[in-house]
C-alpha cells in the first residue's frame, strides 16, 4: 500500500491512480483493485492526464475528445468534477468506494439529478495510544470506519486523513458537522467537533494511557450495579458540597449501587465503560458511541403552558438542532429557567431559539446558551484519589473527599471540606455494650477541656445552645454539646445536628432548665455507645480541618453489673489534617 500525498512524483501517482480505478466514457470513476491512497490532487491530475491523451487506454476511457473533467483550486485541495450531461452526456463522478481511497481535500460533483454532492477532507492531528480506532460521528450516527487504527498518516502528527461525505443529494448532512472521538478503554478519551466543507479541515485528538483505568472492561461491566449507576447521573440536582448551601449540578453520580466495589475507582471506570468504543450502554439514553460531550446549559424564559419535559427526551430547536434533554431546574415549562442538553445534531441554540420537547411539546425560549467545559469521558479527570470533575457534573457529597474539585452549574466552585475522622475500634466480649467518651484536651491539664465555651442566657426547652464565643471552625459537624447547668451537679449532653457562628442546633431540645450565662459548655466528639454488636465494635466522628493540631482525650468504659471491664483511657495526639484511628481491647475486671 502506497500513500500518494500532494508532493508525490506525478508520473508515479497518476499511473498508480489509473491502475486502481476505471473511468468510463460517461465519466464514472470506479474502484477496480488496489490498496493505494491518493491526495485528491491526483484525482484531478489523473483525469487531466487522460483527456490530454489522444487515445484511451485500458479501462480508462477518456481522451482528448472528452470535455474537461475537473477543476482544482487552493493548491489542489478543492477538486470539482464537472457535469457535462447536457452537452456531452458525460458527468464525471466518483463513488463512495473510490472516496475511501482519497484524502487531502474535497471533491465536489453532481449526481444524476444534478444535485451537488461533496466529499470533504478531514485530517485528524495529534497523538494517540497505539491501536486506537478513531470514530467519526456524523448526524448522530457512527460514520462507518474503513480506516482501522489509522490511514494516510502522512506525517508523525497525523492520525488520519480521509474524505467524509458531507453533502448528499444537494443537502448538507448535519450542516457538515462531524465529531471525531477516541474512546479506548484504558486510555484517556478525546473528542473534537469540526465543521467540514471545501478543502480539508482539521480535528485534534490526543490520548495517552490512563493510569487509573487498568481494570479489564469485562470485569467492570460485570460489577454488581453496573447498569444502574448511570441513572444517578441524570437530572438536575442541588448538592451541598461544602456545607454552605446547595448548588445546582447535573445529576448526583454515586458508586453506592456498586456493591462490592463502592469506591471512586470503580465509579470512574464504570462511567468510562459506558462510553467506550463499540458499547451498547447508554448515558442519558444516548448510546455511548454517540456521546459527543457537547453539553449546553440554556437560560430560558418560563413558558406560558403547562407541559412538562421528560428526562432524556429528544428536544429540538430552531435551525434543525436536535439534542437530548438532560435536566432542568423545573421540568414544568411554566417554571423552567434553566435547561441542560446534549447536542446530537446541529449547532447550539442561541438567543430567541425555542427549545421544544418531543414528548409533550413543552417549550421555552432561550435567552442565553453556555457551553459546559465537558470532558470526553463525561466524569472528568480522576487522579486515582481525587476527581477534577467536568463542569456541572454532580457527585454525592458524602462520596467526595478533600481535594476533589467540582464546578456547579451556577459557576460556583464549592470546596470539599477537609474532613478529619477520628475512628475507634473496640475489641471486647461479644456480649459487651461499651461506651466511649472523647473531648478536646485541656490546654494545661491532662483531662478534657470541660469549660471550653461559656453559655449564654437561654430559657428552658430550647432547640439551640448559644455560647458566648464563636464556635471553633474545627468542631465536629455533629456531636454532643455538654452544658453544666447552674443548679445541676453534672453536665447534661444534647446531641446537635449542626452549628454555625455561636449556635449549636440541637436534634431535640434542652431540658426544662435554663442555661445561665457563664455555664460551662464543651463539645464531646464521642458520648455514646459503640456501634455494632459482637466482639468488634466501632465509633467515629469527623470535623473539618482548620489549622494546627489538637489533642483529644477520653475513655472507653463498660459498666456491666455482671462483668464490668477495666476502663481504658484513649488519646488522639497531635491531630492535624490527617485522620487517626485507634484500637483498644477491653478486659474483664474480675
Partner 1 sequence: MAYSVNWTTKVFTIPLGDLTLVSGSNYTLDTSDFWIEVRRLEASNATGDGLYAEQALEFINTQTLSGIPYSAIVKLINGYTWDINATNINVSLIGKNSNLLDTYIPGNGISVLANNSAGKTDDENIWDANLVDHETAGSFGEYVGKQLLTFKKFFSEK
With contacts defined by CB under 8 A, name the span among 72-80, 337-345, 413-421, 520-528 that binds partner 1.
Answer: 520-528
With contacts defined by CB under 8 A, name the span among 148-156, 216-224, 305-313, 565-573 that binds partner 1.
Answer: 565-573
Number of residues that bind partner 1 (CB under 8 A): 30
How many Å separate Cα 410 from the centre of its chain? Answer: 17
- Partnered with residue 365 across adjacent β-strands are 301, 354
Among 524, 530, 539, 575, binds partner 1 (CB under 8 A): 524
- 550 touches partner 1 (CB under 8 A): no
With contacts defined by CB under 8 A, name the span among 15-23, 131-139, 288-296, 431-439 that binds partner 1.
Answer: 431-439
**Would you give the binding string for partner 1 spanning residues 370-399, x where CB under 8 A is met?**
------------------------------
Least separation in angstroms between CB 301 and partner 1: 57
Check residue 131 and report its DSSP letter. T
Distance in angstroms (rounded) separating the CA atoms of residues 323 and 298: 12
Residues 459-518 that bind partner 1 (CB under 8 A): 482, 484, 489-493, 511
With contacts defined by CB under 8 A, name the span among 24-32, 252-260, 459-467, 557-565 that binds partner 1.
Answer: 557-565
Cell numbers that stand for 226 in this block: 453496573
Among residues 430 and 562, whose Cβ is nearest to partner 1? 562
User: Helix, strand or coil for residue 501?
Assistant: coil
With contacts defined by CB under 8 A, name the span among 196-204, 245-253, 290-298, 429-437 that binds partner 1.
Answer: 429-437
Least separation in angstroms between CB 182 and partner 1: 59
Q: In sequence order, what DSSP letters do the residues of 134-161 get, joined into one string?
A: -EEEETTEEPPP-STT-B---STTEEEE
With contacts defined by CB under 8 A, name the span among 44-52, 72-80, 315-323, 435-443 that binds partner 1.
Answer: 435-443
- In degrees, rounded to 5, the angle at the alpha carbon of residue 555 between the alpha carbons of residues 550 and 559 is 165
- 590 touches partner 1 (CB under 8 A): yes
Least separation in angstroms between CB 494 and partner 1: 10
- 131 touches partner 1 (CB under 8 A): no
Integer angstrom CA distances of residue 119 from 20, 102, 162:
19, 9, 9
Distance in angstroms (rounded) separating the CA atoms of residues 96 and 105: 15
Tell how strand 338-345 and strand 321-328 pair up.
antiparallel
For the CA atoms of 184, 185, 189, 193, what is the dihedral angle to 10 degrees? 40
Among 103, 291, 387, 437, binds partner 1 (CB under 8 A): 437
Question: How many C-beta atoms lie closer than 10 Å to residue 413's C-beta?
Answer: 12
Distance in angstroms (rounded) separating the CA atoms of residues 224 and 267: 12
Q: In sequence order, what DSSP letters do the residues of 354-384 get, joined into one string?
A: EEEETTT--EEEEEEEEE----TTSSEEE-S
Half-sphere exposure of 319 (CA within 13 A, CB side): 15
Distance in angstroms (rounded) separating the CA atoms of residues 467 and 464: 10
- 557 touches partner 1 (CB under 8 A): yes
Among residues 371 and 566, whose Cβ is nearest to partner 1? 566
3-state helix, strand, coil in the chain (%, to 5): 10, 40, 45
Residue appearing with cell numbers 444502574: 228
Among 323, 357, 448, 479, binds partner 1 (CB under 8 A): 448
Cβ(321)–Cβ(285) under 8 Å? no
**CB within 8 A of 436, min separation 6: which ones?**
424, 426, 526, 527, 528, 529, 530, 539, 554, 555, 556, 557, 570
- 410 touches partner 1 (CB under 8 A): no
With contacts defined by CB under 8 A, name the span among 73-81, 97-105, 284-292, 553-561 that binds partner 1.
Answer: 553-561
Integer angstrom CA distances of residue 317 from 283, 347, 356:
21, 10, 6
Among 558, 570, 572, 575, binds partner 1 (CB under 8 A): 558
Distance in angstroms (rounded) separating the CA atoms of residues 61 and 81: 16
Among 564, 579, 582, 584, binds partner 1 (CB under 8 A): 564
Among 149, 555, 579, 580, binds partner 1 (CB under 8 A): 555
Question: How many C-beta atoms lie closer than 10 Å to residue 533's C-beta?
Answer: 11
- 561 touches partner 1 (CB under 8 A): yes
With contacts defined by CB under 8 A, name the span among 22-30, 41-49, 63-71, 434-442 that binds partner 1.
Answer: 434-442
With contacts defined by CB under 8 A, name the span among 19-27, 50-58, 367-375, 558-566 that binds partner 1.
Answer: 558-566
Least separation in angstroms between CB 533 and partner 1: 17
Least separation in angstroms between CB 567 and partner 1: 5
- 567 touches partner 1 (CB under 8 A): yes
Among 249, 527, 543, 572, binds partner 1 (CB under 8 A): 527
- What is the phi-psi region of residue 411: left when phi exceeds 0, alpha when psi lies from -120 to 50, beta otherwise? left
Least separation in angstroms between CB 493 and partner 1: 7
Cell numbers that stand for 285 in this block: 439514553
Among 439, 523, 539, 575, binds partner 1 (CB under 8 A): 439
With contacts defined by CB under 8 A, name the span among 97-105, 263-271, 306-314, 560-568 that binds partner 1.
Answer: 560-568
Distance in angstroms (rounded) separating the CA atoms of residues 524 and 554: 9
- What is the phi-psi region of residue 231: left when phi exceeds 0, alpha when psi lies from -120 to 50, beta otherwise? alpha
Among 410, 559, 577, 585, binds partner 1 (CB under 8 A): 559
- 429 touches partner 1 (CB under 8 A): no
Least separation in angstroms between CB 566 and partner 1: 7
- 441 touches partner 1 (CB under 8 A): no
Least separation in angstroms between CB 380 and partner 1: 44
Among residues 281 and 475, whose Cβ is nearest to partner 1? 475
Distance in angstroms (rounded) separating the CA atoms of residues 296 and 178: 18
Q: Is the dihedral of CA 243, 248, 250, 251 positive or negative?
A: positive
For the CA atoms of 420, 421, 422, 424, what is the dihedral angle to 10 degrees? -160
Residues that bind partner 1 (CB under 8 A): 434-435, 437, 439, 447-448, 482, 484, 489-493, 511, 524, 527-529, 555, 557-561, 564, 566-567, 569, 589-590
Amino acid at each position: 500500500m502506497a500513500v500518494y500525498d500532494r508532493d508525490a512524483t506525478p508520473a508515479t501517482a497518476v499511473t498508480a491512480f489509473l491502475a486502481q480505478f476505471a473511468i468510463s466514457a460517461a465519466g464514472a470513476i470506479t474502484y477496480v483493485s488496489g490498496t493505494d491512497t491518493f491526495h485528491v490532487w491526483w484525482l484531478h491530475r489523473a483525469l487531466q492526464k487522460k483527456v490530454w491523451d489522444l487515445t484511451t487506454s485500458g479501462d480508462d476511457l477518456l481522451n482528448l475528445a472528452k470535455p474537461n473533467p475537473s477543476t482544482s483550486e487552493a493548491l489542489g485541495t478543492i477538486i470539482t468534477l464537472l457535469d457535462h450531461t447536457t452537452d456531452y452526456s458525460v458527468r464525471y463522478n466518483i463513488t463512495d468506494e473510490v472516496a475511501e481511497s482519497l484524502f487531502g481535500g474535497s471533491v465536489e460533483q453532481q449526481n444524476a439529478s444534478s444535485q451537488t454532492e461533496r466529499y470533504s477532507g478531514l485530517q485528524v492531528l495529534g497523538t494517540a495510544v497505539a491501536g486506537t480506532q478513531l470514530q467519526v460521528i456524523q448526524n448522530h450516527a457512527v460514520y462507518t470506519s474503513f480506516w482501522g487504527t489509522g490511514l494516510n498518516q502522512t506525517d508523525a502528527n497525523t492520525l488520519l486523513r480521509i474524505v467524509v461525505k458531507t453533502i448528499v443529494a444537494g443537502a448538507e448532512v448535519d450542516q457538515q458537522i462531524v465529531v471525531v472521538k477516541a474512546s479506548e478503554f484504558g486510555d484517556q478519551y478525546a473528542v473534537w467537533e469540526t465543521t467540514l466543507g471545501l478543502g480539508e479541515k482539521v480535528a485534534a485528538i490526543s490520548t495517552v494511557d490512563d493510569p487509573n483505568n487498568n481494570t479489564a472492561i469485562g470485569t467492570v461491566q460485570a460489577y454488581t450495579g453496573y447498569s444502574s449507576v448511570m441513572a444517578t447521573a441524570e437530572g438536575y440536582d442541588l448538592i451541598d458540597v461544602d456545607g454552605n448551601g446547595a448548588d445546582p449540578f447535573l445529576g448526583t453520580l454515586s458508586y453506592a449501587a456498586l456493591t462490592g466495589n463502592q469506591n471512586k475507582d470503580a465509579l470512574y471506570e464504570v462511567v468510562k465503560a459506558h462510553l467506550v468504543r463499540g458499547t451498547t450502554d447508554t448515558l442519558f439514553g444516548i448510546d455511548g458511541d454517540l456521546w459527543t460531550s457537547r453539553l449546553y446549559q440554556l437560560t430560558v424564559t418560563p413558558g406560558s403552558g403547562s407541559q412538562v419535559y421528560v428526562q432524556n427526551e429528544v428536544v429540538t430547536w430552531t435551525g434543525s438542532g436536535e439534542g437530548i434533554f438532560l435536566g432542568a431546574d423545573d421540568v414544568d415549562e411554566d417554571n423552567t429557567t434553566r435547561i441542560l442538553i446534549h447536542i446530537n445534531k446541529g449547532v447550539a441554540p442561541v438567543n430567541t431559539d425555542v427549545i421544544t420537547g418531543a414528548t409533550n411539546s413543552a417549550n421555552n425560549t432561550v435567552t442565553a446558551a453556555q457551553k459546559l467545559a465537558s470532558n470526553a469521558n463525561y466524569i472528568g479527570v480522576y487522579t486515582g484519589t481525587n476527581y477534577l470533575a467536568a463542569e456541572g457534573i454532580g457527585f454525592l457529597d458524602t462520596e467526595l473527599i478533600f481535594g476533589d474539585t467540582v464546578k456547579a452549574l451556577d459557576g460556583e466552585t464549592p470546596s470539599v471540606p477537609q474532613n478529619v475522622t477520628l475512628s475507634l475500634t473496640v475489641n471486647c466480649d461479644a456480649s459487651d455494650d461499651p461506651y466511649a467518651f472523647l473531648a478536646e484536651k485541656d490546654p494545661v491539664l491532662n483531662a478534657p477541656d470541660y469549660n471550653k465555651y461559656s453559655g449564654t442566657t437561654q430559657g428552658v426547652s430550647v432547640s439551640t445552645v448559644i455560647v458566648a464565643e464563636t464556635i471553633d471552625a474545627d468542631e465536629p459537624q455533629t456531636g454532643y454539646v455538654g452544658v453544666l447547668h447552674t443548679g445541676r451537679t453534672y453536665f447534661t449532653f444534647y446531641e446537635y445536628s449542626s452549628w454555625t457562628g455561636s449556635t449549636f442546633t440541637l436534634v431535640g431540645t434542652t431540658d426544662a432548665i435554663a442555661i445561665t450565662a457563664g455555664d460551662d459548655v464543651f463539645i464531646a466528639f464521642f458520648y455514646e455507645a459503640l456501634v455494632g454488636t459482637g466482639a468488634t465494635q466501632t465509633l467515629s466522628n469527623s470535623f473539618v480541618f482548620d489549622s494546627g493540631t489538637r489533642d483529644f482525650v477520653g475513655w472507653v468504659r463498660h459498666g456491666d453489673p455482671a462483668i464490668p471491664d477495666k476502663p481504658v483511657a484513649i488519646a488522639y495526639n497531635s491531630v492535624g489534617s490527617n485522620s487517626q484511628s485507634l484500637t483498644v481491647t477491653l478486659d474483664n475486671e474480675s
